[in-house]
Copies of this chain bind each other. A is one copy, B any other.
Amino acid sequence: MQDQKTPRRSNRDRSEDTRARLISAARKLFSEKGYGDTGTPEIVKEAEVTRGALYHHFTDKSELFRAVALQESRDVAQAINQNSVHESEPVRALVSGAQAYFTAMTKPGRARILLLEGPAVLGPDGMAEIDRETGSASLYKGLEWAARSANRPDLPLGELTTLLSAGFDRAALEIAMGGESTGYIRAFESLLQSLFPAQK
């Protein structure tokens, strides 16, 4: 019979549990009150651990935020992969991907963390590093496909990727703040169909 007072967990289990608790509590508070207005005492209280545990797992508060943002970004990528419908036409595929992105970004707090606080706390480079693992590459591939299909080798795809990505982000933020998504979907459709007119 196991001792009930000391569950006798392995170090790894303890660590993973503590890390997860901290990230979860931080995610909640950062998204509700913002990074600057959330103190580490409040975070550890919510996570039911001590500040010692926090500073054992993360070098400082911003590293905890980075872990939160990374997890959030991965969740977005996963949600998009799950909800992505295979389309035979590139513009449709891009619009469908945008749709999935908007939906994933409506989870409360997510837009604030990834689109508002993230760039300020971690810097554009820090966020780019996080995004690299997840999103931007697939957008580039989609545009490449569309450019090939529409016979438009003249387009500067790298810059267009950046521009459209910024548009997606801004639209996601508006939608997450209560805006209507249909208008933005149509705007992207117009934009993409103008850029990549159907052949023949």
Contact = CB atoms under 8 A, between A and B. Distances in A.
User: Chain A contact residues: over half helix, strand or loop, or mixed?
Assistant: helix
Interface in A137-158: 154-156, 158
Complex copy number for this chain: 2
Interface in A86-105: none
A75 B117 CA distance: 25
Contacts of A170: 162-163, 165-166
Interface string A10-54: 000000000000000000000000111000000000000000000
A160 B195 contact: no
A194 interface: yes
Interface stretch (A1-9, A77-85, A171-179): A171-179
A191 interface: yes
A186 interface: yes
B195 A190 contact: yes
24 contacts: A34-B120, A35-B36, A36-B121, A116-B120, A116-B124, A119-B120, A120-B121, A124-B177, A156-B190, A159-B184, A160-B190, A162-B170, A163-B171, A163-B184, A163-B187, A163-B188, A164-B167, A166-B166, A166-B169, A166-B170, A166-B171, A190-B195, A191-B195, A194-B194
Given A120-B120, A156-B186, 18 more contacts: A36-B36, A116-B120, A116-B123, A116-B124, A124-B173, A155-B190, A158-B183, A159-B184, A160-B190, A163-B167, A163-B187, A163-B191, A164-B167, A165-B170, A166-B166, A166-B169, A166-B170, A167-B167
* A-B CB proximity, top 4 nearest: A166-B170, A120-B120, A159-B187, A163-B167
Interface of A: 34-36, 116-117, 119-121, 123-124, 154-156, 158-160, 162-167, 169-171, 173-174, 177, 183-184, 186-188, 190-191, 194-195
